[in-house]
Structure 1
């Protein structure tokens, strides 16, 4: 019997719970709901169903394996881990629930009891209040999997674009000092392998973004593109990886350019996230490459301001669930 996907609750004060319910209801209505279960919160989710009128029956289960059979009746939810719904009002109790759901979810994925992990949004500040010391869920998962942070590569994937920020949560002023040929080649190899393993792309094509306007304009606007990025691209090409660059950022995301690569590696956070959110906001998925487990997440935050109001679009969560199921199938574990 194939293992189900594990879906974590995220912060219960955010839109995670209603996004999970809405996504599951949508996928089930479309006949596309994969085998999955939510890691905790049966009473919390049932209260959310009643408050928002979402057509998603909650089926408590005692262990992940029960999800395969329970899904015929509704959304399987692991019992024994629960809390109160507090939409828009983050708390330490909610942060503890979010963390416990994440911790159990990664254990299930590492043990093979879950085929992969879909994580709902967390509030880093709320988690910091209870001792959380990670920049985000990606770094936590790398640590839990026994991998260095640099091996956990964030890729944003949507219907029309895939992007990878080579530097993530750092000040823009720090980016030039963090970019190196070794960083580019290391992460590019992980991306290429991830595209082969999880997306069935036999010969991945990578576009490497420039750092400076016009790729430095022969040194007029900085020398990092010629000194660091171009040699890294040449090294990747010598290894047999189909890489091009440095490509100026203002040309990299045009419709014609996007047809020429399978993923774009960007030098900093906003260079990667602005285009994916502009093109695929409601279907953008955060995928973690380089780990032994599958992990996806909707590419949006907790949105406390609209939580509990029935305004959250479940499209990104549905896309994250679908993509995790597709990755599991590509790996032959579903």
Structure 2
């Protein structure tokens, strides 16, 4: 058998005619930049996130960078975040001219540990970036309490978590703003790059809207240093076709996650750690990620049997060579480093067949019981 991490072909075939018709509509309109499709998607995603504003940008990395700049983060500032995340989180902080300050994680969720944040606050701290990793929100109530106490912005990196909730609140509701990625592999994925900032903060929304068009308002008059980072009209058109299916796809992911957990825990509960969904959280399972012993050997074994897996992320940001000047070393973030050695993500997508899941589970059990 051959089981991929993600197979987008079935999803595309189910809506191929509608996608092609929508793309033809854009082509015929000749409205290619910040047109009606971008405006519709911005409105729909903002409403879905229960906030007032959506600002479409070029990609999820730019979304973080622009949100930070719009929140006033710049040269000499510090931003507290997690090192157990994709590079874009720390990279956006550095690109904004600020210094990333990395703190440890909660091993149950892989998300930033709020109890570690306050000790990292200094007079240079300007913001906190919690990353809602794998589709589950970090503890936003605790994070917001710290942010309010110290007058800090909270920019939620929700690249993997569109549709996630915490105690009934959506991504973006509890922070200053949140950022999404529409990279093709995401739960709501385009057929290329795309991203969005969502926020209830009108000032942040207005600034972000200006920054994404070279910092000009009105056109050709530049008061801030901005970028060319606009959500493409063609990508927005595709996302508008896909968006109505998002909750259905998220529910399918949750069902498949529950099945994996049930089957794996029946025989391996004492040996591996299946995902922990914290009380009050609605996890959308962008990834289904285990913590396991002998992770690399397991990955190789599954590969030999035709099963694709991924390691998100093998080298945490605090020990990446590009951040060497920050002075972090192995041992500074023990839980983060432990996760980097133990985390493995299994195939996960809405169309994943139960028979394929059974085969994945069978081979994992086989590896640990041999």
Q: TM-score, normalised by structure 2?
A: 0.22
Give the TM-score of the pair, scaled to structure 1. 0.24
